[in-house]
Chain A
Amino acid sequence: MGSNADSKEIINAEVEAGDFSSGGEISSKLKDLLRKLGTSSKLIRKIAIITYELEMNIIIHSEGGSLAAEVNPGRIDIIARDEGPGIEDVDKAFKPGYSTASESVREMGFGAGMGLCNIKNYADNLEVESELGVGTTIRASIDLK
């Protein structure tokens, strides 16, 4: 999907596992970029919420990964990839309030089991591929209208 000529990657950055102090920096950069591209503030907020939740998910739950944004005709795709451990039960992970986050993560205000729900709420299309021991790829698409 990402390799055709109409698709333009505007950001692609590594996300380090457990790196809370940098958490949100990529989302922040993307937000600035979209503002410069003249994207409406409502659309930017939607995209920022999705990107930030995905970025924090990689930091909290994964062994490291990356976050990318692609501009495609009529839509923007946010792609989060990580190198494991994979989601054991994807359906459960989408249940509001379901969380596998540690106590220390919760004390910071994260891991309340609402992240994927928020993403689903704001994305126009969402694809989740996850394999235990391999990793997770999430592609969230937002229509540009």
Chain B
Amino acid sequence: MKLTKIHNLLETEIIYQSQSELNIVSACGADLMSDVLAFSREKTLLLTGLTNPQVVRTAEMIDLELIIFVRGKQPPKETIALAEEQDITLLTTEKPLYEACGILYSAGLKPEKLDTIE
């Protein structure tokens, strides 16, 4: 799924956009960073209510390409700076986590699989 489609579906605001073109194949929603680290596929997006810089660090560790903050949350400048450094796209949507996940799921974005590093 391309960034434009995700942007339109969730009516997002773009906080930082990566240089590379995204083609997201799966998604996960979590507020616990260890849960995020249990997901392991590439080309994944993360929907979360947390905005601290560790969210970007966590994304970096598993090569996650896109983070969407839910319920209209705006990340602090440290988070944006780290996303720029790591070239990870940041979006924010007014929609709550459950609804945002549901919209993407209905539009065909599959859930992330657990523990799939073979």
> Which A residues are closer than 8 A to B by beta carbons?
20-21, 23-24, 27-28, 31, 41-42, 45-46, 48-49, 52-53, 56, 108-110, 112-115, 117-118, 121-122
> Which B residues are closer than 8 A to A by beta carbons?
31-35, 37-38, 40, 42, 48, 50, 52-55, 57-58, 60-63, 78, 115, 117-118
Instruction: Assess the B60–A21 pair: CB atoms within 8 A.
Output: no
Instruction: Assess the A110–B54 pair: CB atoms within 8 A.
Output: yes
Sorted nearest first, the 3 A-B pairs with minimum C-beta distance are A24-B57, A114-B34, A48-B61
* A residues near B50, Cβ cutoff 8 Å: 108-109
* B residues near A115, Cβ cutoff 8 Å: 34
* B residues near A42, Cβ cutoff 8 Å: 117-118
- The one of B33, B57, B117 that contacts A46, using a Cβ cutoff of 8 Å: B117
Instruction: Assess the B53–A118 pair: CB atoms within 8 A.
Output: no
Q: Given A24-B61, A31-B60, A48-B62: A112 and B38 within 8 A (CB)?
A: no
Tell me the complex Cα distance, A20–B58, Å. 13
